[in-house]
Amino acid sequence: MVSNSDSDAEPATDSDADSVAQPDADSDAEPSADSPIALELADVTRRYGDTAAVDGVSIRVRQGEFFTLVGPSGCGKTTTLRLIGGFEAPSSGTVRFGDRDVAGVPPEDRDVGVVFQNYALFPHMTVGENVAYGLRFADPPGDVSREERVTELLDLVDLPGMTDRDPDELSGGQRQRVAIARALAPGPEVLLLDEPMSALDAKLRERLRMQVRSIQRELDITTVYVTHDQEEALAVSDRVAVMNAGQVEQVDTPRRVYRRPTTRFVAEFVGDNNVFSGTVRDVTPEADAVDRSVEASAGDRIATLAVDDTSIRVALGDRSVDDGGGSDGRRSVRVGDRLTVCVRPEDLRFLEEPDSSREAAANVLRATVESAEFLGETTRVHLRRNDRSLVGRTRDPLSGVVSVRFDPTAVHVIGVDRDGTVDGRR
């Protein structure tokens, strides 16, 4: 099940202590809906015996888009990539490149370039020969010789003059760039990258992922990228598909996946969201129902949730939820609904002094600091409140008992909780 893009305005946030890489402003806008569809998977399933490694996946990738499949190990993302490349055949469903059904078409005839996790360079060939190997089934694009194409690509990946080097003379990052040049040699329609940074150290990964993104933009090539690293997915992608247990949980821009998860799994997988479930005991349209430290416009709807032994106020705006009828019907949040909501760690604000008198106030929680991880410009703080774990971020050292608060506008509604599922998804 794919969750559609949520176009509601994002809540105001105070993210000065956020250590997760945020996508740049450009990435908040999806690729143009007018762009043609370069690649489509329609209800694709891949079974191995009784096990569905990929289960009913449907995605569309637009021409020139950098599209990332992200999820934990075993979620089906690499199998999905292999289905696109023709290295696996779907048990059911269709894979299309444009309007062409590629069922039964072998990888060498699909017009794809592939970079595998281990690069797979040939040690007995020079760098130039490895790049030229990508032309074994096709002539170079344009009116250039093979030698000219190799030189052109090595310049593109910032390896000029290395044609005659042996692979074992190169660093890991250089070998990775040779593999990318080889994949690009025939000018493929689609570039597939399967966790190409996983063997590199953190600093090199960060530098090279942006170089890959720069190359992709320069060539305007449709790219499908696989990673388990949420930060990497947010940093480089136009859109992200979050996968879990063989299914797609959400497809959206990086910023909306981060700020507006549509399932509990996405909320917990992408970053360190604090997730709460509670019953709506009041919904009011009055602006003055909001904490007075928060600016609210007339007509804002505020839901008050009973969560454990406290209350959480949620600024609903025009938020609607699945009506539970099994269709696309939507309705307003109402009293008695059991909602699942989340608050990002950077939206927890630590009060200067723990204040037991404010314990009964909505959106104020007292908790005990269990541990703290110093990350350089910020510290990730792990908190314990009764049986609940919370995560916050701060620049200041903390210990003992603390009080945290968060604005109603910082609370995101994931959906209605029904029998252990949220809007039909666990």
Query: So where are the chain's domains?
Result: 25-261, 274-422
Q: Does 423 have pLDDT greater than 70?
A: no
Question: Beta 412-418 vs 338-343: how paired, if at all?
Answer: antiparallel
In this structure, are residues 28 and 332 in contact, taking their beta carbons and an 8 Å threshold?
Answer: no
Closest CA to 55 of 262, 239, 223, 249: 249
Mean pLDDT, rounded, for 382-390: 92
In this structure, are residues 302 and 284 in contact, taking their beta carbons and an 8 Å threshold?
Answer: yes
Q: Residue 151: how many CB atoms within 10 A of its CB? A: 17
274-422 matches 25-261 in CATH topology: no
Q: Does 98 have pLDDT greater than 50?
A: yes
Mean pLDDT, rounded, for 139-151: 88
Tokens of 204: 């090199």
Report pLDDT digits (tens) over 300-333: 789 999 998 889 999 987 777 665 655 566 678 8
In this structure, are residues 161 and 174 in contact, taking their beta carbons and an 8 Å threshold?
Answer: no
Determine if residue 41 is left, alpha or beta; phi over 0 gives left, psi from -120 to 50 gives alpha, anything else beta.
beta
Alpha carbons 388 and 342: distance in angstroms, whole number:
13
The confidence score (pLDDT) of residue 30 equals: 54
Mean pLDDT, rounded, for 227-241: 95
Cβ neighbours for 126, distance < 8 A, ≥ 6 positions apart: 163, 164, 165, 166
Q: Does 125 have pLDDT greater than 70?
A: yes
Q: Does 127 have pLDDT greater than 90?
A: yes
The confidence score (pLDDT) of residue 12 equals: 35
Sheet strands (E) in 26-182: 37-48, 51-62, 66-70, 92-97, 100-101, 112-115
Per the model's pLDDT, the better-predicted residue between 400 and 332 turns out to be: 400
How is residue 425 annotated by DSSP?
A: B
In this structure, are residues 177 and 208 in contact, taking their beta carbons and an 8 Å threshold?
Answer: yes
Report pLDDT digits (tens) over 194-231: 998 887 888 888 888 899 999 999 999 999 999 999 99
Cα dihedral across residues 342, 348, 354, 358: positive or negative: negative
Alpha carbons 226 and 194: distance in angstroms, whole number:
5
The three-state DSSP-derived secondary structure of 351-369 is CCCCCHHHCCCCCEEEEEE
Question: First CA to last CA across the chain, in angstroms?
Answer: 12
Closest CA to 77 of 229, 222, 242: 242
In this structure, are residues 60 and 67 in contact, taking their beta carbons and an 8 Å threshold?
Answer: no
In this structure, are residues 21 and 231 in contact, taking their beta carbons and an 8 Å threshold?
Answer: yes
Cβ neighbours for 240, distance < 8 A, ≥ 6 positions apart: 67, 68, 70, 233, 234, 250, 251, 252, 253, 254, 257
Question: Beta 112-115 vs 190-194: how paired, if at all?
Answer: parallel
The confidence score (pLDDT) of residue 198 equals: 81
CA angle 389, 391, 392 (to 5 degrees): 145
Instruction: Return phi, psi of residue 210, to 5°.
Output: -75, -30
Tokens of 350: 């630590």
CATH code for the structural domain at 274-422: 2.40.50.100
Highest mean pLDDT range out of 64-68, 106-110, 193-197, 294-298? 64-68
Closest CA to 41 of 193, 228, 243: 243
Closest CA to 276 of 304, 308, 303: 308
Alpha carbons 301 and 293: distance in angstroms, whole number:
16
At 18, the pLDDT band (50, 70, 90 cuts) reads very low
The confidence score (pLDDT) of residue 151 equals: 95
The confidence score (pLDDT) of residue 313 equals: 93
In the chain, what's the furthest Cα-to-Cα distance?
78
Sheet strands (E) in 137-286: 190-194, 222-227, 239-244, 247-252, 274-284
CATH label, 25-261, candidates 3.40.50.300, 3.40.50.620, 3.30.540.10, 3.40.140.10: 3.40.50.300
